[in-house]
Amino acid sequence: MDAAGTGVVGVSPLGILTSVGAGASYAVYAIATKMLLDRGWRVGVAAGSVFGVTAILSLPVVLFTPTAWLFTTDGALLVVWLALVATVLAYLLLGWGLERLNPTTVTTLTLAEPLGATLLGVLVLREQLSPVSIAGLIVIAVGLTIVSVPTLRRRIHVSAAVICDADGRLLVVRKNGTTAFMQPGGKPEPGESAAQTLSRELEEELGLVVDPSAMRPLGSFTAPAANERGFEVVAEVFAADIGAQHPVVAAEIAELRWVARADAEALDIAPLARRYFLPPR
């Protein structure tokens, strides 16, 4: 409803443009943060870096904005709330989500907040919504429903190895026709356990003989797939001691390398390895 109480609300092209700009800015933030996380940055460092750049770019706005309210009790409390809760806590949680999900899913799920606020306004404050607002809420609800449904078809289950040399470097391999280096391993054959799969893959692809019972399970880890766009890898990861054996390129492997974290900066490292298993700096 407009200020005159006529119930007619006009559409402002400038308002539409600024709304699209705000949405695009949020998308850029999510994608930029996700890229940093995939390169091994910690959540706090990634979020702080993006916000730091944003703060610097926003400094000229302060020159044209009244700041006297900042030095009042209410103003100081508001700043603390906005800084610690609405920004730091909220975006650390957003970064935690971006570590585990793709940016599209995370940014869509955040729309639950305005949807919930609008529903509270209707139910508690008896606010009236226009047909356009109702249509927008329906679109948001449908989007939330879609991203909440598990997409099992887009998950790839594999076994992967953590193999380190005497200098603590991680063994990674690159398959034929690809650019990303990843941990040795692969997909299971029918009837295989995760450890049996890894033992077979290590022998077929690198000539390494490791008994499945000698592998130490590290857990299940999830990350975006390196070579299958839009898919997610769910890896059962094992630490494997190869003793005095030396891996050799075989089967579908094009190249192998032993990498430290410093070496990884110049390489295309799969998100699973970069996020969880690169050696400490």
**Average pLDDT of adjacent 10-residue blocks, the chain of 281 residues:** 50 80 81 75 82 83 82 89 85 79 71 78 83 82 71 77 92 92 92 94 94 92 83 91 92 92 85 87 64
pLDDT at 106: 74
pLDDT at 245: 93
pLDDT at 152: 47
Residue-range domain boundaries for the chain:
13-110, 153-276
Distances (CA, A) of 200 to 36, 134, 188, 197, 206: 34, 56, 9, 5, 10
Provide the 8-state DSSP code for 88: I
pLDDT at 9: 54
- C-alpha 55/C-alpha 117 separation (Å) is 27
Conformation bin of residue 126: beta by default, left when phi > 0, alpha when psi is -120 to 50: left
- C-alpha 96/C-alpha 128 separation (Å) is 36
pLDDT at 153: 53
H runs (alpha helix) in 168-270: 194-206, 261-264
pTM of the predicted structure, to 2 decimals: 0.54
CATH code matching the domain that covers 153-276, chosen among 3.90.79.10, 3.30.10.20, 2.60.40.10, 3.40.50.150: 3.90.79.10
pLDDT at 114: 77
pLDDT at 215: 94
**Contact (Cβ atoms closer than 8 angstroms) between residue 160 and residue 184:** yes
- C-alpha 165/C-alpha 150 separation (Å) is 38
Q: What tens digit of pLDDT does each residue of 254-274 get?
A: 999 999 988 887 888 998 998
